């Protein structure tokens, strides 16, 4: 371990789907440890900039062993309300979805910004949603300033292209473009967490491909549908010194083998086009259902088949999920009162039509 051909398999499974501009990859075991170690990379990169290549003294190296001194810098990672990035210790400080994940566990004083809360349909709420973007972006800059004054500067910002656990909350391309500009202006790094959105469900391998960013993000994390965890990163985030990022397995070579075959099937069967076709059927059908049941269904939204809609309350949402499960469809909740759709890449138009028929019959019984 790892096998002799591990580098070749990494190329065939991961490099071929790497986000544009991110030619380096580090494998990990899961989404949480992918983000956790990506945070470490950002902190190392940021503190190295501050030191300007100056080496630590022996005294400073000994101090860091007891969590003191300049080798243990007081830095922070900015995240967003409604974001979910994992349950390990550092990730938990950037997770803001359910109290059950966080209660009784100490955490860091790191900044948490507001994420846009849009009204739908988007075309009927342009002014409101644009103001939401401005409000949240202004808050991001204010937090950069506030934490600089605290002496706990923001080294990086972590954000999901779609807040998948927090309620399927979307940000506009403009929001993400301006966010990246603010992050760069403040000398920090942008981490796009694609643990949930990566690998094609949005109609592209990576959801952030659809955001029109000025340049690639500094780091993109992945797991779940990618079968293995890990992160892609730019040349600037590459660490020269070995052993800074390490754990026992650094991912799972057997999962790399499975991913390699999965990537081949996605290309062979043109599954991204399948996703786009079934997504058209879902989008149109869910809007029809929303119009037919306006007191029950609202805020249909999504990219590709990565979609969601709202019910009026948590109770009505949970009732719908239970009833549609009894009718043969497995679904899950998102946020406080949303239902999320997460079909496989092989989900086709006729499957979408079957789902829409079942959902309609369930709603008629409410």
DSSP 215-265: S--SEEEE-GGGSSEEEEE-GGG--SSTTSS--SSSS-HHHHHHHHHHHHH
Over residues 203-230, the mean pLDDT reads 97
Relative orientation angle of helices 126-150 and 173-185, to the nearest 10 degrees: 20
Is-catalytic flag, 224? yes
Is-catalytic flag, 318? no
DSSP string across 260-286 = HHHHHHHHHTTHHHHHHHHHHHHHHHH
More confident residue, 324 or 247: 324
pLDDT exceeds 80 at position 196: yes
Angle at 310 between CA 304 and CA 314, to 5 degrees: 135
Name the residue among 307, 345, 278, 306 with its Cα closest to residue 297.
Answer: 307
Instruction: Quote the pLDDT of residue 355.
Output: 98
Portion of the chain with pLDDT greater than 70, in percent: 100
- Active-site option among 224, 228, 232, 262: 224
Prediction pTM value: 0.96
Name the residue among 101, 288, 269 with its Cα closest to residue 200.
Answer: 269
Instruction: Output the six-digit token pair for 118.
Output: 């849009």
CA distance 226 to 229: 7
Instruction: Quote the pLDDT of residue 247.
Output: 84
pLDDT exceeds 80 at position 244: yes
Instruction: Output the six-digit token pair for 138.
Output: 């202004």
CA distance 116 to 172: 9
pLDDT exceeds 90 at position 250: no
- Active-site option among 43, 80, 84, 320: 84
Which residue is associated with the tokens 């993400």? 176
- pLDDT, the chain, mean: 96
Which SS3 state, helix, strand or coil, does residue 74 take?
A: coil
pLDDT exceeds 70 at position 205: yes
Q: Give 304-362 pLDDT, tens digit per residue.
A: 999 999 999 999 999 999 999 999 999 999 999 999 999 999 999 999 999 999 999 99
Judge whether 346 and 335 are in contact, CB under 8 Å.
Answer: no
Q: Give 8-54 pLDDT, tens digit per residue.
A: 999 999 999 999 999 999 999 999 999 999 999 999 999 999 999 89
Instruction: Quote the pLDDT of residue 297.
Output: 98
- Active-site option among 149, 235, 240, 248: 248
pLDDT exceeds 90 at position 62: yes
CA distance 350 to 347: 8
- Active-site option among 133, 168, 193, 252: 193
Distances in Å between the Cα of 35 and the Cα atoms of 2, 29, 88, 109 are 22, 11, 9, 18
Instruction: Quote the pLDDT of residue 344.
Output: 97
Is-catalytic flag, 84? yes
Is-catalytic flag, 193? yes
How many angstroms separate the first and last alpha carbons of the chain?
55
**6 falls in which pLDDT band (50, 70, 90)?**
confident
Instruction: Quote the pLDDT of residue 1.
Output: 65
Instruction: Output the six-digit token pair for 341.
Output: 């759709």
Which SS3 state, helix, strand or coil, does residue 151 take?
A: coil
Strands 219-222 and 189-193: parallel
């Amino acid at each position: 371990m790892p096998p002799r051909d591990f580098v070749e398999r990494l190329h065939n499974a991961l490099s071929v789907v790497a986000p544009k501009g991110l030619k380096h990859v580090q494998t990990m075991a899961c989404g949480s440890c992918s983000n956790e170690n990506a945070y470490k990379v950002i902190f190392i990169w940021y503190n190295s900039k501050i030191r300007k290549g100056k080496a630590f003294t022996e005294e400073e190296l000994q101090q860091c062993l007891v969590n003191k001194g300049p080798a243990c810098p007081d830095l922070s990672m900015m995240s967003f309300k409604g974001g979910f990035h994992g349950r390990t210790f550092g990730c938990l400080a950037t997770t803001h979805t359910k109290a059950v994940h966080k209660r009784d566990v100490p955490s860091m004083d790191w900044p948490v910004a507001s994420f846009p809360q849009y009204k739908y349909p988007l075309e009927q709420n342009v002014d409101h949603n644009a103001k939401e973007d401005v409000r949240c972006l202004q808050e991001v800059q204010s937090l950069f300033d506030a934490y600089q004054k605290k002496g706990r500067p923001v080294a990086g910002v972590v954000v999901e292209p779609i807040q998948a656990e927090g309620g399927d909350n979307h940000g506009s391309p403009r929001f993400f473009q301006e966010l990246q500009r603010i992050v760069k202006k403040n000398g920090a790094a942008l981490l796009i967490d694609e643990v949930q959105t990566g690998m094609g469900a949005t109609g592209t391998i990576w959801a952030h491909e659809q955001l029109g960013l000025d340049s690639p993000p500094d780091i993109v994390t992945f797991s779940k549908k990618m079968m293995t965890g890990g992160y892609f990163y730019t040349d600037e985030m590459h660490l020269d010194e070995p052993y800074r990022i390490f754990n026992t397995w650094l991912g799972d070579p057997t999962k790399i083998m499975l991913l390699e075959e999965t990537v081949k099937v996605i290309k062979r069967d043109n599954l991204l086009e399948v996703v786009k076709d079934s997504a058209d059927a879902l989008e149109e059908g869910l809007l029809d259902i929303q119009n037919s049941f306006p007191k029950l269904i609202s805020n249909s939204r999504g990219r590709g088949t990565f979609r969601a809609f709202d019910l009026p309350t948590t109770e009505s949402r949970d009732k719908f999920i239970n009833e549609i499960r009894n009718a043969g469809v497995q679904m899950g909740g998102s946020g406080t009162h949303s239902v999320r759709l997460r079909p496989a890449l092989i989900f086709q138009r006729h499957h979408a039509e079957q789902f829409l028929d079942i959902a309609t019959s369930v709603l008629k019984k409410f």
